């Protein structure tokens, strides 16, 4: 992150040394203050992780639509002309049967929209001189156009205001989920997922909002790995919620899974109680909370899906006994504390024995933030944590841009994420000469960063964006892109079409693993 300074050298050793001591006292404090507080912390962490896991599962929906490697994937927008958008979006609809509509907008509001209507499409084309005036056309299978007037006509100014507000608050690489009733006034039956995409040959970007029935989220959550989550639901600002049937439970089915209801109409008693507390503002939405149902303590937590504002949430409830089944004995907790003290002592001895190695590790993990840092790193040469790439997209041998160059860069990123992290310097030749990004011909530094981040989202996944920090530095009068990676918490696959490849660092190179080698990697991790 910008402004962050890595812990280095002796500071890293001191941090670990005193961290172990502080952690030991902290655990002792937990035992001293009692089982009740300890159980509360465990339950809070468990339900937060479970809820965030559910939120991560539906974020993959956007990758499946916008970040795929299909021929019509919306990696960027070549033109804002209605004819181009109509053709591109029609092809996208054919490949994505769950997609119901796509809205393209910018800071002034709607630019173009296309929705699916059985065998026909409905097209929205705002007038350039006045966005509040929209031409609506039905696109018939025979290629003819037929004007129509929608039931929601008259709300164009509110629509443009909503879209422009979302556009201003959205950032590249982020996904904003929203209930599209704010756009269509059709209740919580439809949802939108909005992302920013660059416009070809321009420094600007547009917001593309994918419209889907809420059934898509319900189905994704129903079949996702739910861990300790006993019940899952979707919650809206309006105070309504929707219960999600788990694929193995069959607790909720039929219309109930596709219709948002007030909490008092929820079938599951735990979800009903949680929803009533949320609707009455008796609890804080951004904190885990507990309540009782039939003499059983339940925990609930909401994870927002919206980047700004409070529109949609994923909610999870679980009984407290699920995470505390092995911690019901006070004697067990005391014994665990004693074992922890012994283990901490052993860890301190091992730490002291490996002091030199740890200090060296701290130096290798320095974040590169200045031109001087880049030159120092270049002088060290390529290694398992450092790689040079001369260009981001331009193939010097072929004399034109090539996807093979982009893919080579992102394979390195994936390998860093799956290993111990590292730094990629784009604009530096293999021999260490600073060549810059001139050959890539980006209009600006922001454009270069946006393009690189979109490549990471496309080939690896938007959920890994938090593990990659990028910035452009001027070194010896040349622009160099620095991408610093930290190890990811989950395997990062390089996706090319339907194929998936798994890379790790092996010395100064990125090496693909076979299936058996990947299995061994998982066991070691």
Three-class HEC string of 453-512: HHHHHHHCCHHHHHHEEEEEEEECCEEEEEEEECCCCCCCCEEECCEEECEEEECCEEEE
Backbone angles phi, psi at 455, to 5 degrees: -65, -40
DSSP per-residue letters across 111-163: EEEEEEETTEEEEEEEETTEEEEEEEEEE-TTS-EEE---TTTT-HHHHHHHH
Domain that holds residue 337: 9-33+329-358
Using a 10 angstrom Cβ sphere, with 0-12 exposed, 13-18 middle and 19 or more buried, the burial of residue 128 is exposed
One domain, residues 96 and 237: no
One domain, residues 319 and 415: no
Using a 10 angstrom Cβ sphere, with 0-12 exposed, 13-18 middle and 19 or more buried, the burial of residue 286 is exposed
One domain, residues 115 and 154: yes
Cα R_g (the chain), whole angstroms: 26
One domain, residues 289 and 230: yes
Domain presence at residue 61: no
Domain presence at residue 45: no
199 neighbors 188 (Cβ within 8 angstroms): no
One domain, residues 512 and 395: yes
One domain, residues 100 and 203: yes
Three-state SS at 176: strand
User: Distance of CA 92 to CAs 112, 264, 335, Å?
Assistant: 15, 40, 59
One domain, residues 484 and 340: no
pLDDT of residue 14: 77
211 neighbors 103 (Cβ within 8 angstroms): yes
The residue among 183, 180, 209, 179 whose CA lies nearest residue 197 is: 209
For residue 448, give every residue at least 6 positions away whose Cβ sits within 8 Å of its Cβ, in sequence order, or none.
392, 437, 440, 442, 472, 479, 481
Global confidence as pTM: 0.51
Tokens 């190890």, residue located: 487
One domain, residues 128 and 204: yes
One domain, residues 417 and 499: yes
Three-state SS at 199: strand
The residue among 179, 171, 216 whose CA lies nearest residue 195 is: 171
Edge-to-edge strands, sheet with 289-293: 241-244, 231-236, 312-319, 296-304, 289-293
The residue among 455, 457, 440 whose CA lies nearest residue 408 is: 455
What are residue 503's DSSP bridge partners? 512
Domain presence at residue 346: yes
* CB atoms near residue 38 (< 10 Å): 18
386-389 vs 422-426, strand pairing mode:
parallel
The pair of three-digit structure tokens given for residue 316, joined into one six-digit string: 């999870």
Rounded CA gap, 265 and 256, in Å?
10
Beta strand ranges found along 219-279 (DSSP E) = 231-236, 241-244
Q: What angle do CA 81, 86, 92 make, to 5 degrees?
A: 125
Three-state SS at 77: strand
Q: Which of 214, 240, 274 finishes a domain?
A: 214
One domain, residues 349 and 258: no
Domain presence at residue 54: no
pLDDT of residue 363: 43
Domain presence at residue 38: no
Rounded CA gap, 77 and 257, in Å?
35
One domain, residues 158 and 20: no
Domain presence at residue 69: no
The CATH number of the domain holding residue 480 is: 3.30.950.30
Query: Number of structural domains, the chain?
Result: 4
Domain presence at residue 301: yes
For residue 442, give every residue at least 6 positions away whose Cβ sits within 8 Å of its Cβ, in sequence order, or none.
448, 451
Query: What tens-digit pLDDT sequence spans the chain (525 residues)?
Result: 344 444 444 466 777 788 888 887 777 666 655 666 666 777 788 888 888 888 777 777 666 665 544 444 455 567 788 888 888 888 888 888 878 888 898 888 888 988 888 778 888 888 878 877 888 888 888 778 888 777 666 677 788 888 888 888 888 878 888 875 444 444 566 788 888 888 877 788 888 888 888 777 788 787 777 777 788 888 888 888 888 887 655 444 444 445 788 899 998 999 999 999 998 888 888 888 999 998 888 889 998 887 776 578 888 998 887 766 555 555 666 677 777 778 888 888 887 776 655 554 554 445 667 889 889 989 989 998 999 999 999 999 989 999 999 999 999 999 999 888 889 999 999 999 999 999 999 999 999 999 999 999 999 999 888 888 899 999 999 999 999 988 887 899 999 888 899 999 988 898 998 888 888 888 887
Tokens 């909490």, residue located: 263
Rounded CA gap, 303 and 432, in Å?
45
DSSP per-residue letters across 320-367: HHHHHTT---HHHHHHHHHHHHHHHHHHHHHHHHTHHHHHHHHHHT--
Rounded CA gap, 183 and 186, in Å?
8
pLDDT of residue 34: 60
The residue among 343, 359, 98 whose CA lies nearest residue 220 is: 98
Tokens 């600002």, residue located: 237
The pair of three-digit structure tokens given for residue 163, joined into one six-digit string: 């879209």
Domain presence at residue 22: yes
One domain, residues 99 and 15: no
Q: Which of 214, 237, 267 finishes a domain?
A: 214
Length of the chain: 525
pLDDT of residue 117: 80
**What are the b/e assignments for 21-36, b being 16+ CB within 10 Å?**
eeebeebeebbeeebe
382 neighbors 429 (Cβ within 8 angstroms): no
């Amino acid at each position: 992150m910008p402004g962050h300074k890595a812990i280095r050298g002796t500071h890293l050793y001191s941090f670990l040394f005193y961290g172990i001591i502080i952690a030991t006292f902290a655990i002792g404090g937990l035992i001293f203050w009692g089982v009740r507080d300890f159980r509360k912390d465990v339950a809070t962490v468990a339900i937060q992780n479970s809820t965030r896991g559910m939120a991560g599962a539906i974020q993959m929906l956007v990758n499946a639509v916008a970040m795929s490697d299909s021929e019509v994937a919306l990696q960027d927008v070549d033109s804002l002309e209605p004819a181009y958008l109509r053709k591109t979006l029609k092809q996208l609809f054919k490949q994505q049967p769950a997609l119901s509509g796509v809205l393209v907008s910018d800071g002034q509001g709607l630019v173009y929209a296309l929705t699916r209507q059985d065998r026909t499409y409905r097209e929205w084309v705002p007038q350039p001189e006045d966005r509040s005036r929209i031409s609506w056309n039905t696109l018939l299978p025979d290629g003819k156009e037929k004007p129509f007037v929608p039931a929601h006509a008259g709300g164009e100014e509110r629509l443009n205001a909503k879209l422009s507000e979302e556009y201003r608050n959205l950032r590249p690489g982020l996904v904003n989920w929203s209930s599209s009733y704010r756009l269509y006034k059709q209740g919580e039956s439809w949802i939108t997922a909005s992302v920013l995409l660059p416009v070809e040959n321009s420094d600007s970007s547009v917001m593309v909002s994918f419209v889907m029935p809420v059934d898509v989220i319900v189905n994704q959550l129903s079949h996702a790995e739910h861990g300790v989550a006993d019940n899952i639901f979707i919650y809206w600002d309006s105070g309504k919620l929707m219960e999600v049937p788990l694929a193995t439970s069959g607790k909720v089915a039929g219309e109930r899974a596709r219709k948002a209801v007030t909490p008092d109409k929820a079938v599951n008693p735990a979800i009903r109680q949680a929803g009533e507390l949320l609707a009455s503002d008796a609890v804080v939405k951004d904190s885990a909370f507990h309540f009782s149902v039939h003499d059983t303590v339940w925990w609930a937590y909401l994870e927002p899906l919206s980047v700004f504002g409070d529109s949609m949430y994923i909610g999870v409830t679980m009984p407290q006994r699920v995470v505390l089944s092995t911690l019901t004995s006070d004697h067990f907790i005391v014994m665990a504390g004693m074992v922890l003290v012994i283990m901490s002592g052993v860890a301190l001895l091992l730490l002291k024995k490996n002091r030199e190695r740890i200090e060296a590790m701290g130096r290798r993990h320095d974040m590169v933030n200045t031109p001087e840092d880049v030159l120092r790193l270049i002088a060290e040469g390529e290694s398992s944590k450092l790689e040079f790439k001369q260009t981001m997209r331009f193939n010097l041998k072929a004399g034109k841009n090539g996807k093979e160059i982009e893919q080579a860069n992102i394979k390195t990123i994936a390998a860093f994420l799956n290993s111990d992290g590292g730094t990629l310097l784009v604009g530096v030749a293999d021999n260490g000469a600073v060549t810059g990004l001139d050959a890539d011909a980006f209009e600006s530094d922001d454009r270069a960063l946006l393009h690189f981040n979109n490549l990471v989202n496309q080939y690896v996944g938007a959920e890994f964006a938090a593990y990659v920090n990028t910035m452009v530095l001027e070194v010896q009068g040349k622009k160099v892109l620095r991408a610093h990676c930290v190890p990811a918490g989950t395997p990062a696959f390089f996706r090319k079409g339907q194929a998936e490849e798994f890379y790790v660092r092996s010395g100064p190179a990125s090496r693909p693993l076979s299936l058996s080698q990947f299995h061994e990697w998982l066991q070691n991790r």
